[in-house]
Amino acid sequence: MSNQTSLLCQVAPALRGVLAESSILPLVTFTDTATEADVTLTLSEGGVMTQLKQAMAKADGPVRRICVEALGTFTVRATEATDSGRVAGKVAVVTGAAQGFGLEIAQDLAAQGAVVVLADINVEAASAEAEALEAKYGQGRAMAVRMNVTDADSIAQALTEIVKAYGGLDLFVSNAGVLKAESVKTQPLKDFQFVTDVNYTGFFLCVQQVAPMMAAQHAACPANTFDIIQINSKSGLVGSNRNGAYAGSKFGGVGLVQSFAMELVEDGIKVNAICPGNFFDGPLWSNPDDGLFVQYLRTGKVPGAKTLEDVKAFYESKVPMGRGCTTPDVMKAMYYLMDQQYETGQAVPVTGGQVMLH
């Protein structure tokens, strides 16, 4: 990351906090050219936050455009009065959002008033979905960025794009995940490492780069807290037969959630996990080429199963409530975790009773 990019990622989130007029932080858009502004600031050595606060305090009237010399211009847009919903005006980033569960999470957040960023390695599909959300909810309400969660440079580039567009973020949903089910006796190391890299290491890499931006917002506006939510799995709470790579990565994710929660609480960041039960209708399970129903039938994980319907019926029978998990089930837990200010480091099961805390 260049010095200019690093400075941008410090200044923009701090501005969101400094200029906050309510519990919702404003959006801050960046251009790398100097234009006429309400405030012109030359940053010197020392604390960026202090210099920004001093400059804003001296401003004559509302500040809507700030020119930082040798960097560029920041334009501030307050949340529209017509915005409504449980996350109105918040900037939410969802990884793995081009399809399936991640896309449905992004769609629900947009419906509840958030500005949504769809982050995915398949940026073409994510862009199409972002355009659909903008057509439905308004220009500027969604964008797509290419993000490979296993690549720190890719994450940094994506977050820089987000900062340029919105100034920072209020919610980061770590949803991107993969699964390769196979016996420990036969699974190739490359498959085990692939699952671990995406589900476990990818979460670490994302939090490492997201947390400083949220911390800068909180330092400027201490009354506000921000949320990192990992979409984990019931397999992060109980083992999974012939699926050790996935369960291990998810168990590890819960350990990271608890550890990050303890560390980042001082920065106004809550870190929690949601552990859904089986999302049978999504591509992870139902993809006709390599979904879990296909994998489990092929590997003989369900004794006696002859068809995909046999496999599905077997897994539905394990749920006391008799059905798979849905996106609305998960969103209820997500909004609870965001609303609840006295909870961090939790792994909340949403499993229809299949996994119960004890």
Report yes or no on 58 lying in a domain: yes
| Residue 296 pLDDT | 86
Report yes or no on 73 lying in a domain: yes
Residue from 156, 81, 152, 166 nearest 115 by CA: 166
Report yes or no on 347 lying in a domain: no
Instruction: Please count the structural domains in the chain.
Output: 1
Report yes or no on 50 lying in a domain: yes
Report yes or no on 195 lying in a domain: no
Flag whether the pTM goes above 0.75: yes
Residue type, 111: A
CA dihedral 258, 262, 264, 269 (to 10 degrees): 70
Q: Give the SS3 label for residue 16.
A: helix
Whether residue 87 is predicted with pLDDT greater than 90 in this model: the reply is yes
Cβ neighbours around 307 below 10 Å, total: 10
Residue of higher predicted confidence among 28 and 299 = 28
Residue type, 82: T
CA separation for the pair 262, 260 (Å, rounded): 5
| Residue 104 pLDDT | 96
Report yes or no on 108 lying in a domain: no
Residue type, 332: K
CA separation for the pair 12, 29 (Å, rounded): 8
Report yes or no on 144 lying in a domain: no
Residue span of the structural domain in which 36 resides: 3-77
- Mean pLDDT for 266-274 is 98
Q: Is 315 a catalytic residue?
A: no
Q: What is the pLDDT of residues 208-224, one digit of tens each?
A: 999 999 999 999 999 99
Report yes or no on 116 lying in a domain: no
Whether residue 108 is predicted with pLDDT greater than 60 in this model: the reply is yes
Is there a contact between 155 and 149 (Cβ–Cβ < 8 Å)?
yes
Q: Indicate which residue of 166, 200, 246, 296 is catalytic.
A: 246
Whether residue 82 is predicted with pLDDT greater than 60 in this model: the reply is no
